[in-house]
Amino acid sequence: MSHPHPELGPPPPLPEGALRIVALGGLGEIGRNMAVFEFDGRLLVVDCGVLFPEAEQPGIDLILPDFDYIRDRLDDIEAVILTHGHEDHIGAVPYLLRERRNIPVVGSKLTLALLEAKLTEHRIQPVKVEVAEEQRRAFGPFDCEFLAVNHSIPDALAVAVRTPAGIVLHTGDFRMDQLPSDGRLTDLGGFARLGREGVDLLMSDSTNAEVPGFVTSEREIGPVIDEVVRTSSKRVIVASFASHIHRVQQVIDAAERHGRKVALIGRSMVRNMGVARDLGYLRIPPGLVVDSKEIEGWPPDEVVLICTGSQGEPMAALSRMANRDHPIRVAEGDTVLLASSLVPGNETAVTRVINGLTRWGARVVHKGNAKVHVSGHAAAGELLYVLNLTRPSNFMPVHGEWRHLRAHAKLAALTGVPDDHIVIAEDGVVVDLVDGRARITGAVQAGYVYVDGTSVGDVTEFALKDRRILGEEGFISVVIVVDSNTGKVTAGPEIHARGSGIDPDRFDEVLPQVEKALQENAADGVVDIQQIRRVVRRTVGSWVSNTYRRRPMIIPVIVEV
């Protein structure tokens, strides 16, 4: 198996007739999916998604792929193909289109509609190219064929990219539900046909590669949701991804059967379900859905609320309800249904929300105590099935953390793909398909780009480190007035602290040490402000560490006179 090396350098020029693939996100992580294909000087982008921040990234709203690799070649991009409408596949498109607004965006009807609703907030009108399964469309030298795949959102597609270098099949996110709620099956016949034609490289979803067998059918969830709604004596509050149209449909159907009104809570939920309803992907009986502002007036046993926040996001509706920071007040006897999978890394946040809801008397039903969700990603049995259908010459697992990629690579080896034809890459690693063989040839920059409010890319890893220190240890400021000619202290030092947990009276112990260090500094003729700051920071930091075993941020404030 090929794998990246920490000392990989820039890739060589792409040989004539070869295909280059660079993932700018989605390898070694769940989210931020983006792959760039290059042939004959032209580029094709498959997906352009976001990653959601974790606890150690305070203040960050979104994490984008790094566009530096293609920033100087934006005019070479033939199109951006979107496999489906989840945020981790379309969320970064607005930021890419800011850099070149007329890049054609290719996707299914629902995917483009969800994207357009998002782009409206960014005041961008995209150049849309709508495609559907069983269609074939050329974008420059890339001949693309689209195949239906079943996923946890309607209208998902796989794409086969044909160039003179060979056929690459990118499955997108998929599963093989044989009884999907919308009746739309993964096109296994199409996969098999491509396999007979000859798949030179298979890029396949790895999220559930460690899970044995096959995923449960979506239809098995409906009766469980129905039972929850039927047996609940008061309100039912359902938290789901704002794009999980299948799940929302099941909740709406259960509410209708048991005579309950439905209210949608949360801007993204209202927006996405409005789009799905208008396009016919969501069936809502007349009069069933009411405005969330009216729902408080209905008897509790006649109400179902559908909201966002199933991952414990602090600003989502469900978290705010748990914290008593939302107009809807969770009460004794309410039932809360978490109808989604748990994204890795969100366990603590979700547990906190469950505890908060339970505190107010709610019964919380979740994947851990009831079958209220099935994964949208193929398990190992399904992945083996696809590998055997397509019989790829080369294999590259995508969309997953390292453990998922490794597990998927082992499955490929079991089906007969030679070890030296299995490429395990990470973000930024360059894979070239030359003469029917996929190999790692180098690496490019593919770091995190942070979105914080309206700023994009301004927050660095160093800034995040400072935020973590401030949040965990607090800060100490030391104010000193010095003579700019001699470096001697003319006033101060004064020490102030916030969040450090140190008694202000204890600073009297360190003041003499600071004064002595500054006097020695001035005696040596040092007038450089940065050097004075370093002396202050080192002296105060050493005292705090020795006395309290803490490492707060030390901020020297030097005023020159």
Q: What are the catalytic residues?
A: 205, 377
- b vs e for 75-94, b when ≥16 Cβ sit within 10 Å of the residue's Cβ? eebbbbbbbbbbbbbbbbbb
3-state secondary structure 449-506: EEEECCEECCCCHHHHHHHHHHHHHCEEEEEEEECCCCCCEEEEEEEEEECCCCCHHH
Q: How many CA atoms lie within 13 A of 89 on its CB side?
A: 26
Residue (of 402, 311, 349) closest to 87 by Cα position? 311
Cα separation, 554 vs 559, whole angstroms: 16
250 Cβ contact list (under 8 Å, min separation 6): 181, 221, 222, 225
Cα separation, 283 vs 255, whole angstroms: 13
Residue (of 242, 223, 197) closest to 88 by Cα position? 242
Cα separation, 423 vs 405, whole angstroms: 10
377 is in an annotated binding site: yes
340 is in an annotated binding site: no
244 is in an annotated binding site: no
Long-range CB contact pairs, 285-292, < 8 A, 24+: 285/252, 285/256, 288/252, 288/255, 288/256, 288/261, 288/262, 289/252, 289/261, 289/262, 289/263, 289/264, 290/261, 290/262, 290/263, 291/263, 292/263, 292/264, 292/265, 292/328
Cα separation, 525 vs 496, whole angstroms: 28
Write down the residue that tokens 């509609």 correspond to: 113
Cα separation, 247 vs 373, whole angstroms: 8
3 is in an annotated binding site: no
376 is in an annotated binding site: yes
Task: Locate all alpha helices (DSSP H) within 279-346, ordered by sequence.
Answer: 317-322
CA geometry: angle at 58 spanning 100 and 35, to 5°? 35
The residues that bridge with 479 in the sheet, in sequence order, are 494, 557
One-letter amino acid at 437 equals: R
Task: Locate all alpha helices (DSSP H) within 360-401, ordered by sequence.
Answer: 380-390
CB 382 within 8 A of CB 354: no
Write down the residue that tokens 């794409």 correspond to: 159
Binding-site annotation, residues: 373-377
Binding-site residue positions for substrate: 373-377
